[in-house]
Amino acid sequence: METGGEQGTYAHDVLAVVLRITGSVPSVLLWQRAREPHAGRWALPGGRLGPDEDVEASVRRHLAEKVDLAEVAHVEQLGVFSDPHRGPPPRRVATAFLGLVPSDADPAVPHDTAWHPVDALPETAFDHGAITRDGVDRLRAKLSYTNIGFALAPDAFTVSELRDLYAAALGHRVSATNLHRVLTRRGVLVPTGETAPPGPSGGRPAAMYRFSEHELRVTDPFAALRPPGHAV
């Protein structure tokens, strides 16, 4: 979609910062551009806003070309990026969204698309690296005061497994005991009544949990999950 105004014509794009935890690090979905500008560089999935679409419908349409939308557990608007110098002419304004994929999902992606660790991004097109970092910051903030962890976790998990996901997303160590206590107090976690299979060393089977809801909810507007050693 092109929009006119006093400053001339500009393009309106929609972009998606799609994150998942792979291994022990958050990764973002990127595709490699085949055409100029920035041919060969990696970019966030997205494209031009259609003339009869709102921005969320448009980003979901573009995402469907890169990943199975059934695997995306949560989508929310991240921000509008309108720096006049964010790319070569013509001017491009982008509305970006944050999307989250559970850690146990492995959606099929096209040959030009791949997951990249957010702390080791390749050279990106336009300002997509900075937009990715904004998406990671949004996720980290919301892990403190909402139940957004449901969008990263599998349907059922142990507290230790959930702790590992939170630690990977936050970028610092997390106490499993404290995480269990906080999320249980907020009504975020419920036991499934099942236990995980014992590990190689045996021991007491770990209880399995699930998130009580799969819709975003503010659970504690003043909370912050800080690294160990920081005052709460």
Stretch(es) of the chain classified as CATH 1.10.10.10? 144-211
Q: CATH classification of 144-211, choosing from 1.10.10.10, 1.10.3720.10, 2.40.440.10, 3.30.1330.60?
A: 1.10.10.10
Task: Work out the pLDDT band at 226, boundaries 50, 70, 90.
Answer: low
Q: Mean pLDDT throughout 77-81? A: 97
What pLDDT band is residue 1 in, cutting at 50, 70 and 90?
low
pLDDT at residue 186 in the model = 95
**Residue with token string 């002419």:** 89
Domain 2-126 has CATH 3.40.50.1000: no
Intervals of CATH 3.90.79.10 along the chain: 2-126
Residue 152 has pLDDT above 90, yes or no: yes
Q: What is the mean pLDDT of residues 138-154?
A: 97
The pLDDT tens digits of the residues spanning 56-71 come to 999 999 999 999 999 9
Q: What is the pTM of this model?
A: 0.91
